[in-house]
Structure 1
Amino acid sequence: MNAVNPLSQKQLPQKQLPQQLKKGIPLALENVRKRFGDREVLKGIDLRIPAGQFVAIVGRSGCGKSTLLRLLAGLDEASDGQLLAGSAPLESAREETRLMFQDSRLLPWKRVIDNVGLGLKGDWRPKALDALAAVGLSDRANEWPAGLSGGQKQRVALARALIHQPRLLLLDEPLGALDALTRIEMQQLIENLWQQHCFTVLLVTHDVSEAVAIADRVILIEDGEIGLDLNVELHRPRARGSARLAALEAEVLERVLSLPAQPPEPEPVSPLPTQLRWAL
């Protein structure tokens, strides 16, 4: 199979945000545990992530990866252990953290630009236009969400996160519902914006090929524990279909498929206030 470089495909026009985002947040998780009744979903996670690193978290359904992301986002609380932003509690970085879901969660009664600027005060419209330009959608600012494709809706959700200049971007399967070509375009867009602005990224995905294609590091969660921590030491842009990329994908996928399926991860009984933030 010939290697395909996604950067050789047609690029949508993009514009950098006028102000560079601050450098990413370094993260430290120390003996993090999460229990739901008698079931322990996370079993003493120890993890350090340098500022600006792009980390993909993979694993079988029910392994604990989504629970881990919820703890980092402040949507739930750990039963034990510490989550730190540098040397401070992670709570101190909540205003600099944004979360994207598989569902774009756009308000259908608001135009695209109003969804991007949702919750902002003052003269926010120029910033919203710049954020839309950064994701290639400045010409759709005054349209309604119903007129957008799935990929375009996720671009709007990404713009809504970028306008807040995050230092930590958490991605919960944001591309899972997209078709294959749109998914590659969105992977490329997220990678380009990360390279420009140096925020820290944690991506939860079921797609091992996606993980090795865009992340610096792939972490496999096995039954609530870190089973594999793999550095992806490949130059960017990465050639999809290359032998080295395929070998890394096979290494992770073989480990994932060797594991038994787990019961679904429980949802929090009652939402914390930060659950209302979405990707705002």
Structure 2
Amino acid sequence: MPQFDTSTTADDVLAGVDLTGRLAIVTGGASGIGLATTQALARAGATVVAAVRDPAAARLSDVEVRRLDLADLDQVAEFAAAFTTVDILIANAGVMACPETRVGSGWELQFAVNHLGHFALVHHLWPALRRAAAARVVVVSSGLSPDGPIRWDDLFFATDAYDRWSAYAQSKAANALFAAHLDVLGRPHGIRASSVHPGAILTPLQRHLTHDEMRAAGWIDEHGRPADYFKTPAQGAATQVWAAVTEDLGGVHCADCAVTPFRANPADAARLWAMSATLTGLPASIE
């Protein structure tokens, strides 16, 4: 097996891999690491659908672009209904550190988009994932603690004052828990799921942060150049592509094209799944 590291790109991972005949969906697939993921999968022969909020703004060739607003669960169901078989789903789209915003039934935007929208998407795509010979779902988490706390009694900051970073961290912890329980449910059907930390990358994800905030955090210098530990989008896409094509991988959390020691708490993962089903009005069972 090739040895990969922090400098590995998505194309490095897919060198010699033929994905001809496989269909992949990448949410947020027209910018940042989503774009790099989409392009690398397409170069490896996959039929790729980039699921984006604004298809008119996408600049992609040889890739199908379809509208998907993860904050609109009716639109999520409509999007999923178009697919009969899905081999790879990369739940890449996300919102980070945005101002307090409410969607749906008063849901906090980051939790709604980063977690609940993808939860609903998997539910609606379940028949298409089952029809694939060995489907893979890769859920993009972050470098924040994947075992960070879920605000079980106040998910949407209805009681406590909204904190954009706490909200983001919660949504990313939810991503890891979601992938862990999805793997438990999907494994009997040949569906495997993992969560990944792509690394630090400057992309449109930072749209809600000012230059001064990123400088203060040490992410960029006075000229806007990223810190040395930041990856390029192609490097940031590597781990999610690796998780999507590595044989027999599932139920794990990955970073730098390797499995990390972290394992989600099964009880918390099951609890979040049940709570998410209640919030979205979808069944907790999935068959």
Comparing both structures, which one devotes a greater share of its residues to helix? 2
Q: Which of the pair has the greater relative contact order for Cα pairs under 8 Å at 6+ separation?
A: 1
User: Is the structural similarity TM-score above 0.5?
Assistant: no
TM-score, L = length of structure 2? 0.31
TM-score, L = length of structure 1? 0.32
Rg (Cα) greater in structure: 1
Comparing both structures, which one devotes a greater share of its residues to strand? 1
